[in-house]
Amino acid sequence: MKPATKFIHAGAHPDPSTGAIMTPVYQTSTYVQEAPGVNKGFEYARSQNPTRKALEEALAIIENGQFGLAFSSGVAATDAVIKLLSPGDEVICANDMYGGTYRLFTKVFERFGIIFTYVDTTHSENVGKAISSKTKLVWLETPTNPLMNITDIAAIAALTKPKNILLAVDNTFASPALQNPLDLGADIVMHSVTKYLGGHSDVIQGALVMNDADLREKLYFIQKSCGAVPGPMDCFLVLRGIKTLGVRMKAHCENGRIIANWLRQHPKVGKVYWPGFEDHPGYAVAKKQMKDFGGMISFELKDDSVEEARRVLSATHLFSLAESLGGVESLINHPASMTHASIPREERIKNGLSDSLIRLSVGIEDADDLVEDLAKAIG
């Protein structure tokens, strides 16, 4: 089945009692049992819910996986993966990553004895050198947030699989429409479903997808035991959002290409970070493992001052100043003070994230209007 068809039909089964084509919202906390321990597959809504079950089936299908699990947020999904580990275990992760993930790793799990080692994963040899007898997990983002770095998933999988090290990939920026990490050797795919999968800035949710049944059981045990599960209405909204993922991502990519090239030609704009440029260091890998280059762009102004960046950030109208990304509407963001503020400044600067960097989530509005909005703001 082709992706465009998958997005429409994944997890969709007409309701057997009414024939409703959309999955009902099962707004219930518990389920009546025929006898003690005899039920219809559902006992308590923290453990199972029919709406969530349909979504988890859809998540697995669109990521070419066997099993999907939905969580109350992307951070909750990430939290569940790290809970597979024990004190003394090591995680190798990218030195450019979402600030919320960094905060979770450093402020929560380091206190419990988990070791996190940060390397430039765009060069797979760095990961190979960092692997030790304690390494149990490699955590990747590709493209990264916010510098759009690209990591070769298959190359990293070639390092982790022989050593039985788990490879998890945050696929939020690409979405299943552009990239399928399980096909490239990853063991776990994580999504902040809030973003492109939901697609309408109206839900907070996360997801994990995997192929291994034993791994699924371990993660499901954590899901039901810790309880960070989404409600049925949120699951319904994401099921609806997935149906338009294919057409939305085409529009995001088309607009992203226009905006990225326009920014690069603007006399007041300095470096533009977008993996679709042929001179981007990760272009060849991105072209190999992605279907297109996405609608996420970061850039710096030639007047590399925080004051000038703040002026631009506050001067747009169609690009709304807000955290998050992946909705149909365009957003503009200042990573240093917003999404990545939890990363110490010296770490941000060392990894190339300047105080004046601006990040765009290019929506699906008319590209001419978006260009005009940026042109007026930049001046």
SS3 of residue 5 by DSSP: helix
Q: Which residues contact 214 (CB under 8 A, 6 or more apart)?
A: none
Backbone angles phi, psi at 130, to 5 degrees: -80, -20
With beta carbons less than 8 A apart as the criterion, state whether 230 and 25 touch: no
With beta carbons less than 8 A apart as the criterion, state whether 359 and 335 touch: yes
SS3 of residue 262 by DSSP: helix
- For 307, the enclosing helix (H) or strand (E) is helix 306-313
- CA–CA gap between residue 167 and residue 74 (Å, rounded): 17
Q: In 3-state terms, the chain is what percent helix, strand and coil (to 5)? A: 40, 15, 45
- CA–CA gap between residue 105 and residue 139 (Å, rounded): 11
- Which of the residues are catalytic? 46, 98, 170, 195
With beta carbons less than 8 A apart as the criterion, state whether 250 and 199 touch: no
With beta carbons less than 8 A apart as the criterion, state whether 84 and 166 touch: yes
With beta carbons less than 8 A apart as the criterion, state whether 271 and 278 touch: no
**Sheet (strand 296-301) strand order:** 269-273, 296-301, 358-361, 331-333, 320-321
Q: Are strands 296-301 and 90-94 parallel, antiparallel or unpaired?
A: unpaired
SS3 of residue 143 by DSSP: coil
